[in-house]
Structure 1
Amino acid sequence: MNRFKLFIENFLVYGLGGMISKIVPFIMLPIVTRMMPNTFYFGLNDISTVVVSFGQALAIMGMYDALFRMFFENSSQEYKKEICSTALTFTFITSVIIFIAMIILRKPLAAVFFSNRKYANLLCLSAMSILIGATNSIVSAPTRMRNQRRIYLITNFLSPVISYSISIPLLLKGYYIIALPLASILAALSVEIIFIVLNRKWFSFKINKRYLKDMLIIALPLVPNFLVYWIFNSSDRLMISKLIGTEWNGIYAVGAKIGQISQLIYTAFAGGWQFFAFSTMKDNDQVKMTSNIFEYLGIITFSTGMLMASLSKVVFKLLFSEAYLAGYIVMPYLFVSPLLLMLYQVVVNQFLVVKKTWPSVIILGVGAITNVLINALLIPAIGIEGAAIGTFLGYVAAITGVIIVLSKMKLVSISGKFYFCIILFIGFSLAWRLVFLNNYVICLLLSVVVIGIYVGMYRKDLFKVLKKDEVNRR
């Protein structure tokens, strides 16, 4: 199969899956924010989500990825059942330990995360979400590993539908603190029951110690990566709440959720990239091909980012009340950030190709530290925009570091015209923020001009790819 066609097909298939699972939350976001009396409650719920994401990463401890890797090691059904059972039992034990610890320490932890001990009950709900969510990922794994896409997509769509069917009536009755987390728990539990019924033959509560050892060898080195990603995605929320108040985190969270429309693109990429990358890693022009894909996706990132910056204020005025309008300023930064992660993962995969994975953890860690330091410096100075800038520059630092290292290893080769495209993007960004922030018409025209320049610079590459695809079809 033509490589371009292979890449696009994987991109579209997983993109559709990601879109189906995320479309309901995007539609419901403006409705939910208008049902809450102020931004504080949405900020509080967002911090609860941050706690859950951290707890689930610790509870799963890389076991989901290890299960995926080990499942295909042997074709024996008995072997596969023992692998699945070992993963579920281990994850259940770690989840219960974390759940019990959070219940016992609920008051001091509530003071740390929510800045007030009176939200201890909310922390209990977070603990329940961790327990259900961590085990849910394991019991659903056989469905994914057997490529039962229809079931997986239906349940992904079903979860948010159940969640909002529960949370909306609770919000109407004034349960602003517990409505979203309680609905999330019940939705996750419903989906988990479905997967338990469908995949029950794959699981039993027992551990094969030899298999567990092999799985932990794969899983444990992944934990630092999960923690670094959590810092990127969550440290800004916690620091905003501590430094300037939870109500500002509510505004920031809305800007982040709208900005993360780009997560649909990232989800599509993440689902399709791994298969594509490893299926082509032995090609003679693999370095050039990977570098070209990095540049093409970079152009898409810059182009969509400029359009989003131009329209961010208009979008917020259309969708949200005046209380959330200040969130428009973070939307462009947080729209581009997941796409920067996509670019990072394109090139960092080169370390995996040559079986040297440790540099990626160090480089991404430097990016995370950069993020936290900029947050600490800019949040007190300029508010939520400082947090968005921190996230953006953290990913920029990671990409810069990985390009420098891989270029020296001759595992990536970036063209001069792409660096010129970066300069144009920086120029537009400065013009948007410092001069035309409130003039979306001029910003939009300027972005169209820059995108036109990009197209002109890469038109030969585009024609070349399409011509190769046409030749292969013949």
Structure 2
Amino acid sequence: MSRARLFVENFLVYGMTGIIGKAIPVVMVPIITRLIPDTSIYGVSDLLHVLVSFGSAFAVLGMYDAMFRMFFDDDTQEHKLKVCSSALSVVALSSTITGAIVILFSKSLSRLLFTTDVYQIWVMLMGVQIALGALDSIIAAPTRMQNKRKVYVVLSVVTPLISYGISVPLILFVDPLFGLIMGGFASVVSKLFIFWVLNGKWFSFRFADRRLALEMFKIGLPLMPTFLIYWVFNSFDRVMISNMLDTSQNGIYAVGAKVASISQLIYSGFAGGWQYFAFSTMKDKDQVQLTSKVFEYLGIISFVATFLIMPWLPLLFKILFTGDYILGYQVAPYLFLSPLLLMLFQTSGNQLLVIKRSYWVTISLVIGAGLNVLLNYLMIPVLGIEGASIATLTGYSCSVVIMAVITIKMKLLKVRRRFILSAVITTLFFVMSKLFLNKTLLPWFAASLLSVGIILFLYREELKKLKGRTKRGRSV
């Protein structure tokens, strides 16, 4: 199989998986918000999810990515068994400790997140969910490392159906907050059981190897701050909104972020296919040129997709939601592009992982996350939840630029001038949208079409080649 076909097939298959997996929650958001008109309840549930994502960074210790890196070092079955088993032995210990700490300090964490200890019992349950979720991430890894794409397509349907199948009845007949929480918890438990049935043969503590575990630990530990920083990007703004505004505003922000997560359809396809593709081609002679093309084309796809969807977001929220939830459209454009920029960051950052110099990834993220927090502090009091979303996008953009500069200096990445021009056009479009277009449909849509037209003109040669390949494919 050619490399281009390998990447495209993985991207499309995992993209389809992402469409199914993300479409169900997005479709359910308007239903859930109508069942729970109180935005503060949705805000509390979202903050508990924030806690889970924070604890998971400590529980996993970067071992998932380290597994991927070491899995392809040796093709023997014994080596692969040792890699998987060693990773599980480390995460079993770290996840137990992390979950126990969350439970032990549950009262303090409840006060930190909600300024009250009334949610302590739910924080304790999140400690259990953190431990189970960390184990699930490791036990699920062999499925992706073997590139078993059909399994993920099936599970992308089964998992959210289980979650909402439990959540909705509990919301209706027991308690709204209880239903939201137990739906997510049930999803984690079901995934852990399913993946253990599928991949249990890859894990045995008798195959655990101290030397391999230490080597993976050296790769994974520098990445752990990376996941903590991702948490700052994705979640710390919710904590700041809750403390600087209130949980009701956080509920609106969470709904806006959920709708914006439709961009995860593209990111899921990328993430699902990228790691396998990147590490399986890392020894190719033209690896730098190949990665540079992926970086550039993913960026263009991200920019164009953002241009086309932004003008329609206010109308979309008015159709889907009622009450204060409609205001979520304010944050959606910025949060739509943010995970797409993460694709660019991971593409260039993976070059440093290949040469085992992952600390540069952490440094660039620290700078971007620090800028994000600073802008949150400055902009939330002035612009409210929209200020938080602008801060998130700005922080991501900063990290991408720094990582690109580092990899270009190391001659691990090449970026052409037309891509830089496309990025400038995207920046100007956001500025115009905020200051001049007043978020009204017709002028906003006209500006988006103009921006798309300019970028397509810059990449007209690639479009001609793509059109020619499509014609040849049809004629075969």
Fold shared per TM-score above 0.5:
yes
Cα drift, residue 354 of structure 1: 5.0
SS of equivalent residue, structure 2 residue 437:
coil
Cα drift, residue 71 of structure 1: 4.2
Q: Name the counterpart of 2:56.
A: 56
Q: Name the counterpart of 2:155.
A: 155
Q: Hey, what's the Cα distance between the residues in 1 that align with 2:70 and 2:413?
A: 30
Q: Hey, what's the Cα distance between the residues in 2 that align with 1:236 and 1:404?
A: 27
Query: CA 1:381 to 1:148, structure 2 compared with 1: closer, same or farther past 3 Å?
Result: same
Cα drift, residue 288 of structure 1: 4.6
Q: Does structure 1 retain, via aligned residues, the 8 Å contact 2:44–2:247?
A: yes
Q: Name the counterpart of 1:209.
A: 210
Q: Hey, what's the Cα distance between the residues in 2 that align with 1:63 and 1:167?
A: 31
Q: Name the counterpart of 1:135.
A: 135
Q: Does structure 2 retain, via aligned residues, the 8 Å contact 1:309–1:332?
A: yes
Q: Hey, what's the Cα distance between the residues in 2 that align with 1:58 and 1:452?
A: 45
| Structure 2 residues without counterparts, runs of 5 or longer | none
More divergent stretch after superposition (208-217 vs 245-254): 208-217
Q: Does structure 2 retain, via aligned residues, the 8 Å contact 1:38–1:323?
A: no
Q: Name the counterpart of 1:170.
A: 170
2:343 paired with 1:345: no
Q: Hey, what's the Cα distance between the residues in 2 that align with 1:213 and 1:69?
A: 14
Query: CA 1:219 to 1:441, structure 2 compared with 1: closer, same or farther past 3 Å?
Result: same
Cα drift, residue 329 of structure 1: 0.8
Cα drift, residue 231 of structure 1: 1.2
Query: CA 1:112 to 1:12, structure 2 compared with 1: closer, same or farther past 3 Å?
Result: same
Cα drift, residue 463 of structure 1: 1.9
Residue 168 of structure 1 aligns with an amino acid whose one-letter code is: V
Cα drift, residue 86 of structure 1: 3.6
Query: CA 1:142 to 1:377, structure 2 compared with 1: closer, same or farther past 3 Å?
Result: same
| 1:257-296 → structure 2 map (5 Å cutoff) | 257-278=258-279, 286-296=287-297
Q: Deviations over 1:190-226 (max 9, x none)?
A: 2322333333433345654344323322322221211
Residue 53 of structure 1 aligns with an amino acid whose one-letter code is: S
Query: CA 1:420 to 1:218, structure 2 compared with 1: closer, same or farther past 3 Å?
Result: closer
Q: Name the counterpart of 2:114.
A: 114
| 1:69-108 → structure 2 map (5 Å cutoff) | 69-73=69-73, 77=77, 80-108=80-108
Cα drift, residue 289 of structure 1: 4.5
Cα drift, residue 470 of structure 1: 7.9
2:39 paired with 1:39: yes
Q: Does structure 2 retain, via aligned residues, the 8 Å contact 1:256–1:330?
A: yes
| 1:279-428 → structure 2 map (5 Å cutoff) | 286-428=287-429
Q: Hey, what's the Cα distance between the residues in 1 that align with 2:351 and 2:467?
A: 25
Query: CA 1:170 to 1:296, structure 2 compared with 1: closer, same or farther past 3 Å?
Result: same
Q: Hey, what's the Cα distance between the residues in 2 that align with 1:179 and 1:284?
A: 53
Query: CA 1:90 to 1:430, structure 2 compared with 1: closer, same or farther past 3 Å?
Result: closer
More divergent stretch after superposition (283-292 vs 379-388): 283-292
Cα drift, residue 267 of structure 1: 1.3
Q: Deviations over 1:330-354 (max 9, x none)?
A: 0000001111111222333333455
Cα drift, residue 87 of structure 1: 3.0
More divergent stretch after superposition (271-280 vs 36-45): 271-280
More divergent stretch after superposition (277-286 vs 353-362): 277-286
Q: Deviations over 1:21-64 (max 9, x none)?
A: 22211111111111113110111111111111111221111222
More divergent stretch after superposition (135-144 vs 286-295): 286-295
Q: Name the counterpart of 1:245.
A: 246
Q: Does structure 2 retain, via aligned residues, the 8 Å contact 1:139–1:195?
A: yes
Q: Hey, what's the Cα distance between the residues in 1 that align with 2:210 and 2:289?
A: 44
Residue 97 of structure 1 aligns with an amino acid whose one-letter code is: I
Q: Hey, what's the Cα distance between the residues in 1 that align with 2:360 and 2:4?
A: 29
Cα drift, residue 294 of structure 1: 3.0
More divergent stretch after superposition (58-67 vs 230-239): 58-67
Q: Does structure 1 retain, via aligned residues, the 8 Å contact 2:61–2:224?
A: yes
Q: Hey, what's the Cα distance between the residues in 2 that align with 1:329 and 1:191?
A: 34
Q: Hey, what's the Cα distance between the residues in 1 that align with 2:150 and 2:81?
A: 22
SS of equivalent residue, structure 2 residue 273:
helix
Residue 446 of structure 2 aligns with an amino acid whose one-letter code is: L
Q: Does structure 1 retain, via aligned residues, the 8 Å contact 2:95–2:134?
A: yes
Cα drift, residue 2 of structure 1: 5.1
| Structure 1 residues without counterparts, runs of 5 or longer | none
Q: Name the counterpart of 1:441.
A: 442
SS of equivalent residue, structure 1 residue 178:
helix
Q: Does structure 1 retain, via aligned residues, the 8 Å contact 2:314–2:329?
A: yes
Q: Does structure 2 retain, via aligned residues, the 8 Å contact 1:128–1:185?
A: no
2:452 paired with 1:429: no
Cα drift, residue 284 of structure 1: 6.0
More divergent stretch after superposition (251-260 vs 399-408): 399-408
Residue 13 of structure 1 aligns with an amino acid whose one-letter code is: V
Residue 158 of structure 2 aligns with an amino acid whose one-letter code is: L
Query: CA 1:281 to 1:78, structure 2 compared with 1: closer, same or farther past 3 Å?
Result: closer
Q: Name the counterpart of 1:223.
A: 224
Q: Deviations over 1:94-123 (max 9, x none)?
A: 222222222222111110122210110110
Q: Does structure 2 retain, via aligned residues, the 8 Å contact 1:125–1:181?
A: no
Q: Does structure 2 retain, via aligned residues, the 8 Å contact 1:310–1:444?
A: yes
Residue 45 of structure 1 aligns with an amino acid whose one-letter code is: S
Query: CA 1:22 to 1:57, structure 2 compared with 1: closer, same or farther past 3 Å?
Result: same
Query: CA RMSD of the aligned region, Å?
Result: 2.6
Q: Hey, what's the Cα distance between the residues in 2 that align with 1:170 and 1:309?
A: 35
Q: Does structure 2 retain, via aligned residues, the 8 Å contact 1:56–1:133?
A: yes
Q: Hey, what's the Cα distance between the residues in 2 that align with 1:303 and 1:72?
A: 35
Cα drift, residue 361 of structure 1: 1.7
Q: Hey, what's the Cα distance between the residues in 2 that align with 1:64 and 1:426?
A: 34
Q: Name the counterpart of 2:17.
A: 17
Cα drift, residue 141 of structure 1: 2.9
Q: Does structure 1 retain, via aligned residues, the 8 Å contact 2:65–2:220?
A: yes
